[in-house]
């Protein structure tokens, strides 16, 4: 960048005008100021005592005094009159603004000069550094002294291209998300996307023995028919997040209509004004706030088909789904939620056609809510529904007399509730675990043959994880939720076994498809080879009519042989027939053996080589 002539002269040595002669300059508008400087330099002049500054627009240099931000004084001296003849006619404020503008222009010129010299010095240093590197690497080929200008430019261009590529790569793939930046991408295969979210080993030792029917969960869900998915939402298990996935993150022919500002979405079947999903975000709390298994099984059919005649009601399949969570984390999360003012007073708790009485289900607090309660008070309430909530909401309460604790002993009641919850959970169409979000997504997609748009996200940091408890409190919470602890262990074992079973089934299916594809390609290859070989041996059979019967016999034999080969290739076992079977087939078809013998020996040799290759 070229500097003005005045600025370039200012960076050089100061002007030394000749005595008695005006100084010559390339700036035509600075003659008056230069004359003032010459007048001030003469001895005995009045303006000698006045401090002379540089010409306007020219900086003093590196070793000069800093610019003074002082207002110009209206002096009647010769220097003042010669320095700014135009400024004397302006007002005082206007002169001050013009002075500030001139000072800023001087600083800008100085900054541009410093930048130019700094870049030049940097380029010179970079050239020496690159030359040294080039000499170290390509020393045997060329020396630094013999490096011409073209090699320097080429090396500089390569370095700049490398820096540009690094900048673009960091912009496109920030952090460690890009697989190209990982060193293991070239040495090991891609990691399993469904690896355990808790960073534990994907393999585990099963504790329970489940049948194939218990592990294989594949529901023939017809969204265009009358089937209905019913979501049992247990408090503080991540059901809100999963419920939003069902209405906002699933690929459907007719997606759910969700409007801004409304919690519920309209999820209609394709071509019908009827919902296929019974959940909080589709139908609302139609059976009560956080209805349990006992309420849903008796309420959902009546709500869906209550307005129809019993004879006109379709035979629906109700597919129940739910989400479970670690009991300790769920209990702490519910305590924090209650501490913030949650009560769930709108829950009906209907069982056997009636809600519980105040004696059957007393309240743990007396005010409007239980906000601000400490953890000890939360655990000390014997009627707290947070204790073993997952077992209670998944079991059939009619088996134990609903909420009447005097029907049977407590030990027997707990056993019946736990077995009922396990049975209902095992026969549900689907259930997921909060601690395994990706596996939950995978099993739901395989069960209902419905895919989600974006993958689930595993949140390891929650409000429950922020609560620090000691070992004593942990054991007490586990004791208060001992039924939930047993149910969660059972559910986790069944969940992981189902996941492994589905993954193995998927791998076997993929292997079977690959084998069928290879067999099909082998058959096509043999077919094209026999056709080309038969055409090569008999280019024009009409010229030799005496060979026509033999040709027909050989062609029929080749076709029979080809059909036998195709049958052998399409067998699932893929094994070669034994010699005894070959001898028996030859005894049964002697004419075919004779016709086969009329074929060329090269064909038999090729078939033998193909069999060896197989």
In terms of Cβ atoms closer than 10 Å to its own Cβ (0-12, 13-18, 19+), residue 341 is: exposed
Q: What is the 3-state secondary structure (H, E, C) of 10-47?
A: HHCCCCCCCCCCCCCCCCHHHHHHHHHHHHHHCCCCHH
C-alpha distance across the termini of the chain, in Å: 75
Mean model confidence pLDDT for the chain: 75
Furthest-apart CA atoms within the chain: distance in Å: 142
Mean pLDDT across 410-437? 96
Q: Which two three-digit tokens encode residue 60?
A: 């003093």
Closest by CA to 170, choosing from 158, 180, 160, is: 180
For 466, which DSSP code?
A: T
- Whether 447 shows a pLDDT value over 90: the answer reads yes
Q: pLDDT at position 204, please?
A: 76
- What is the DSSP annotation of 38-91? HHHHSTT-GGGGSPP-PPTT----SSSPPPP--PPP---SHHHHHH-TTGGGS-
With beta carbons less than 8 A apart as the criterion, state whether 58 and 33 touch: no
Q: pLDDT at position 434, please?
A: 96
Bridge partners (DSSP) listed for residue 324: 433
Q: Which two three-digit tokens encode residue 583?
A: 């001898």
Q: Which residues carry out catalysis?
A: 290
pLDDT in tens, 244-253: 999 999 999 9
Q: Is the pTM of this model over 0.85?
A: no
Number of other residues whose CB lies within 10 A of the CB of residue 335: 24
Measured in whole angstroms, how far is the alpha carbon of residue 56 from the centre of its chain? 61
Dist CA 479 CA 521 (whole Å): 63
- Whether 174 shows a pLDDT value over 60: the answer reads no
Q: Which two three-digit tokens encode residue 260?
A: 């801004």
Mean pLDDT across 84-93? 51
pLDDT band at residue 323, thresholds of 50, 70 and 90?
very high
- Backbone φ/ψ region at 352: left (φ over 0), alpha (ψ -120 to 50), beta: left
Mean pLDDT across 588-602? 44
Closest by CA to 228, choosing from 154, 317, 290, is: 317
With beta carbons less than 8 A apart as the criterion, state whether 377 and 365 touch: no
Containing 433, the helix (H) or strand (E) segment is strand 430-433
- Whether 151 shows a pLDDT value over 70: the answer reads no
For 343, which DSSP code?
A: -
For 231, which DSSP code?
A: E
């Amino acid at each position: 960048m070229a500097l003005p002539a005045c600025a370039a002269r200012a960076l050089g040595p100061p002007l030394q005008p000749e005595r008695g002669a005006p100084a010559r300059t390339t700036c035509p508008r600075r003659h008056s100021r230069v004359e003032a400087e010459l007048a001030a330099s003469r001895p005995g002049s009045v303006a000698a005592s006045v401090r002379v500054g540089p010409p306007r627009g020219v900086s003093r240099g590196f070793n000069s005094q800093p610019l003074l931000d002082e207002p110009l004084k209206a002096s009647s001296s010769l220097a003042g009159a010669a320095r700014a003849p135009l400024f004397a006619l302006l007002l005082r404020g206007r002169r001050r603004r013009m002075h500030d503008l001139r000072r800023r222009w001087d600083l800008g010129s100085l900054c541009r000069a410093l930048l130019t010299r700094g870049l030049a010095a940097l380029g010179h240093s970079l050239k020496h550094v690159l030359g040294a590197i080039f000499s170290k690497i390509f020393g045997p080929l060329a020396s630094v002294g013999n490096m011409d200008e073209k090699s320097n430019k080429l090396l500089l261009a390569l370095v700049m291209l490398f820096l540009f590529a690094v900048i673009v790569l960091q912009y496109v793939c920030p952090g460690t998300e890009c697989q190209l930046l990982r060193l293991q991408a070239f040495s090991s295969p891609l990691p399993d996307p469904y690896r355990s979210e808790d960073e534990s080993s994907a393999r585990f030792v099963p504790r329970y023995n489940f049948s194939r029917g218990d592990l294989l969960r594949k529901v023939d869900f017809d969204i265009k028919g009358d089937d209905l998915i019913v979501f049992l939402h247990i408090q503080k298990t991540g059901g809100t997040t999963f419920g939003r996935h069902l209405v906002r993150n699933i690929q459907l022919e007719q997606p759910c209509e969700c409007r801004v500002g409304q919690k519920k979405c309209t999820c209609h079947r394709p071509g019908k004004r009827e919902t296929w999903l019974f959940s909080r975000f589709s139908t609302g709390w139609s059976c009560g706030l956080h209805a349990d298994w006992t309420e849903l099984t008796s309420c959902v059919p009546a709500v869906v088909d209550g307005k129809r005649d019993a004879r006109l009601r379709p035979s629906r399949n109700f597919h129940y789904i739910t989400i479970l969570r670690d009991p300790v984390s769920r209990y702490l999360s519910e305590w924090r939620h209650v501490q913030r003012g949650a009560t769930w007073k709108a829950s009906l708790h209907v069982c056997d056609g009636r809600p519980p009485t105040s004696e059957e289900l007393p309240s743990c607090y007396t005010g409007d809510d239980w906000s601000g309660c400490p953890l000890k008070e939360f655990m000390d309430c014997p009627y707290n529904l947070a204790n073993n909530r997952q077992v209670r909401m998944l079991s059939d309460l009619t088996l134990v007399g609903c909420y009447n604790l005097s029907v049977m002993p407590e030990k027997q009641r707990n056993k019946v509730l736990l077995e009922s919850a396990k049975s209902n959970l095992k026969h549900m169409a689907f259930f997921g675990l909060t601690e395994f979000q990706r596996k939950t997504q995978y099993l739901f997609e395989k069960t209902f043959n419905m895919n989600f748009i974006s993958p689930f996200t595993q949140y390891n940091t929650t409000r429950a994880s922020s609560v620090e408890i000691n070992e004593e409190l942990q054991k007490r919470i586990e004791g208060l939720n001992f039924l939930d602890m047993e149910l969660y262990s059972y559910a986790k074992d069944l969940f992981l076994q189902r996941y492994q079973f589905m993954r193995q089934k998927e791998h076997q299916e993929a292997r079977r498809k690959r084998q069928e594809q290879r067999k099909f390609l082998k058959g096509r290859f043999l077919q094209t080879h026999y056709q080309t070989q038969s055409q090569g041996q008999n280019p024009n059979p009409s010229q030799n009519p005496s060979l026509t019967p033999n040709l027909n016999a050989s062609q029929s034999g080749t076709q029979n042989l080809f059909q036998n080969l195709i049958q052998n290739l399409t067998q699932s076992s893929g094994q070669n027939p034994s010699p005894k079977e070959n001898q028996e087939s030859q005894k049964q078809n002697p004419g075919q053996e004779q016709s086969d013998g009329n074929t060329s020996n090269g064909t038999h040799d090729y078939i033998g080589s193909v069999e060896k290759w197989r």
